[in-house]
Amino acid sequence: MRIALLIILSFCFSPAQAVFNIKQVAQGIYVHQGLIELPDVHNHDAIANIGFIVGKSCVAVIDSGGSPEQGRLLKKTVEKITSVPICYVINTHVHSDHIFGNRAFNNINNIKYIGHEKLSRAMSARGPFYIARSEEQVAVKLTEKDIIPPTIAVKNNYKLDLGGRVLILKAHPTAHTDNDLSVFDKKTNTMWLSDLLFIGHLPVLDGSLQGWLQEIRKLEKRQFDVVIPGHGPIVRD
């Protein structure tokens, strides 16, 4: 397997977060590894693996984090690393630690949000609960403006060309949730599984255990150079 160059950049976040680390895990693929914790008022729901993929003409952000502040920090990090514009924000599923940074990208002209075809409905169903409990549970004040549904809904597979780099987005059957989306980068043979895979972290089931196991069995038959879970360390072949 190609040995990926690891680039670690530290930026100030908030009094509760000392640094925001970004690692280049494959050429043009950057990941911030979230804390191996449950969401609380100290970590502000900054517990998911989030990041971005850089093409020649566009950047795709993969999950935006658990709060608008984390989304803003991710956006600033992209802008420090590359001058290529952010064109897409891909949400891999509905859970709060993956979607509440979306608003930070709203001021980008022609930004497109991408998710599973069932993500919009899930956001509508879960959003009011997340907002109502946000200050109590994670010490972040959220509003309805922080619920940003996809403008591009993926039903089966969707090819996303970032310029010299094609991503394959797959809408999975009900597994971890009923709106799981994976992102495969053909250029580096990297699979971004998000919460279809937990490593070193208690898995959260919000869909179907049997469906989840079926999807994992299918994925186990494929060979990847790099696998990015939703929580825990990156896996390299």
Q: State pLDDT tens for residues 95-120.
A: 999 999 999 999 999 999 999 999 99
Confidence tier at 205 by pLDDT (50, 70, 90): very high
pLDDT of 168: 98
Confidence tier at 202 by pLDDT (50, 70, 90): confident
Whether residue 9 has pLDDT greater than 90: no
SS (H, E, C) the chain: CCCCCCCCECCCCECCECCCCEEEEECCEEEECCCCCCCCCCCCCCCCCEEEEECCCCEEEECCCCCHHHHHHHHHHHHHHCCCCEEEEECCCCCHHHHCCHHHHCCCCCCEEEEECCHHHHHHHHHHHHHHHHHHHHCCCCCHHHCCCCCEEECCEEEEECCCCEEEEEECCCCCCCCCEEEEECCCCEEEEEEEEECCCCCCCCCCHHHHHHHHHHHHCCCCCEEEEEECCCEEC
Mean pLDDT, range 187-193, rounded to an integer: 98
Q: pLDDT tens, 20-51? A: 899 999 999 999 999 999 999 999 999 999 99
pLDDT of 191: 98
Mean pLDDT, range 121-127, rounded to an integer: 97
Whether residue 189 has pLDDT greater than 60: yes
Per cent of the chain over pLDDT 70 is 92
Mean pLDDT (the chain, rounded): 92
The model scores a pTM over 0.85: yes
pLDDT of 105: 98
Per cent of the chain over pLDDT 90 is 89
pLDDT of 5: 29
> 137 and 39 in contact (C-beta within 8 Å)?
yes
Confidence tier at 74 by pLDDT (50, 70, 90): very high
